[in-house]
């Protein structure tokens, strides 16, 4: 599945913005404070709503009054609308998910939650999930396309007023679109890589399949790929050899005292270097390749300013690797924010959006629309 459209209303600095025809690989630029991190946090907010509830997700961000756009009307709601494509009943369908969050009796409430798509080429989109203030219905046989709309089975439900209906319904496979959207949001990954956390030996005990947000488990994930997916690990090393001059071999090494570190072999020297002594750029490039060659890639990946500590020539190579990630055939999508002209130059015109903040509100513009 792939996100094609996002509309935000009254979400922090986004008073009313729309992103249309979103590509698989999306590069976002803008000055500091223009809203790049806020744009990525839309997915984090939805993930927190699913993991906990709306009130908890808001409190993490300072509460309802800090999330809703400043100056919004007293009865205004936070509105998030996302359109994505997915396969349902052997047809590629455009699904729309809308959630509105308001405040009643000084508490956050989901005032509207809708999931809809067209059952046929013609006609209006059908509401397969429709909730407001904790009450609503879901269609239990949405893939029964032989039945007319009025004969579909509705299941009336009651949920907490600050709980998303897809939190519960998305656990059941019979709610096809809700389940797919929940899985997308739950497996969303934002990368906030820290060189100092990725360096050095780690406790060899444990087993990690995916790189963490900060990259502090790089050695454990590299060992997992090395031991269980050697063909993929070889591809990572091959990519490093092509991207970073001198690198000839990389291996996870377990020490006698139960620690784990990474060994980098420079072809010019007899003895390898442990990761503590290789350059920041080398460690960062390797970490991003471990993330981008994940045997089970994230459906939605957000990376903020990957250019830090990277030599300008490497930024073009990294941009190519992000684009390759979206072309693996597993419907993966990447959003990247950057301040680097070198990284930006490696993007294509259709891939670039830029944010402009004026009078406290952010607008989203597209490079291809500007002559």
**Which pLDDT tens digit goes with each residue over 259-301?**
888 888 887 677 777 777 788 888 888 999 999 999 999 989 9
Cβ pair 93, 116 in contact under 8 A: no
- Which tokens belong to 253? 């090494």
- What per-residue confidence (pLDDT) applies to 243? 83
* Stronger pLDDT, 147 or 321, i.e. the higher one: 321
Cβ pair 272, 325 in contact under 8 A: no
Token pair 């879901």: residue: 138
Closest CA to 157 of 113, 116, 126: 113
State in words which class domain 2-22+34-187+351-358 has.
alpha beta
Give the pLDDT confidence of 30-57 residue by residue, as tens digits: 999 899 999 999 999 999 999 999 999 9
For the chain, domain boundaries = 2-22+34-187+351-358, 189-297
Cβ pair 276, 248 in contact under 8 A: no
pTM for the model stands at 0.89
Closest CA to 214 of 156, 272, 291: 291
Question: CA distances (Å), 297 to each of 11, 42, 72, 192, 362, in order?
Answer: 29, 20, 39, 17, 31
Residue 233, number of CB atoms within 10 A of its CB: 22
- What per-residue confidence (pLDDT) applies to 60? 95
- Average pLDDT over the chain reads 88
Strand 333-338: give its sheet, edge to edge: 189-191, 300-304, 333-338, 25-29, 352-358, 361-366
H/E run at residue 117? strand 107-117
């Amino acid at each position: 599945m792939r996100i094609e459209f996002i509309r935000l209303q009254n979400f922090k600095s986004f008073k009313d913005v729309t992103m249309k025809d979103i590509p698989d690989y999306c590069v976002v630029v803008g000055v500091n404070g223009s809203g790049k991190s806020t744009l990525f946090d839309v997915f984090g907010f939805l993930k927190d709503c699913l993991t906990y509830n709306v009130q908890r997700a808001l409190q993490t961000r300072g509460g309802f009054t800090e999330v809703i756009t400043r100056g919004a009307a007293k009865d205004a709601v936070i509105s998030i609308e996302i359109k994505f494509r997915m396969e349902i009943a052997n047809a590629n369908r455009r699904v729309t998910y809308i959630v509105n969050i308001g405040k009643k009796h000084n508490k956050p409430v989901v005032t509207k939650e809708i999931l809809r798509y067209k059952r046929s080429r013609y006609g209006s989109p059908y509401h397969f999930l429709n909730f407001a203030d904790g009450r609503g219905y879901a269609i239990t046989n949405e893939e029964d396309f032989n039945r007319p709309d009025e004969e579909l089975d509705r299941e009336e439900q009651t949920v907490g007023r600050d709980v998303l209906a897809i939190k519960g319904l998305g656990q059941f496979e019979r709610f096809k679109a809700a389940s797919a959207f929940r899985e997308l949001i739950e497996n969303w990954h934002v990368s906030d890589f820290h060189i100092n956390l990725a360096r050095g030996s780690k406790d060899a005990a444990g087993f990690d399949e995916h790189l963490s947000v900060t990259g502090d488990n790089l050695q454990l994930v590299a060992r997992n790929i090395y031991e269980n997916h050697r063909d993929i690990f070889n591809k990572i090393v091959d990519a490093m050899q092509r991207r970073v001059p001198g690198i000839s071999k990389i291996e996870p090494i377990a020490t006698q005292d139960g620690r784990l570190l990474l060994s980098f072999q420079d072809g010019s020297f007899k003895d390898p270097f442990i990761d503590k002594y290789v350059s920041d750029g080398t460690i960062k490039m390797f970490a991003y390749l471990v993330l981008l060659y994940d045997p089970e890639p994230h459906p939605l990946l957000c990376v903020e300013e990957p250019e830090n500590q990277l030599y300008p020539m490497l930024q073009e190579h990294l941009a190519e690797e992000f684009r390759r990630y979206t072309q693996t055939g597993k419907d993966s999508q990447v959003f990247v924010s950057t301040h680097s002209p070198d990284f930006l130059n490696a993007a294509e015109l259709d891939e670039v959006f830029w944010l402009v903040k004026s009078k406290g509100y952010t607008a989203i513009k597209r490079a291809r629309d500007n002559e």
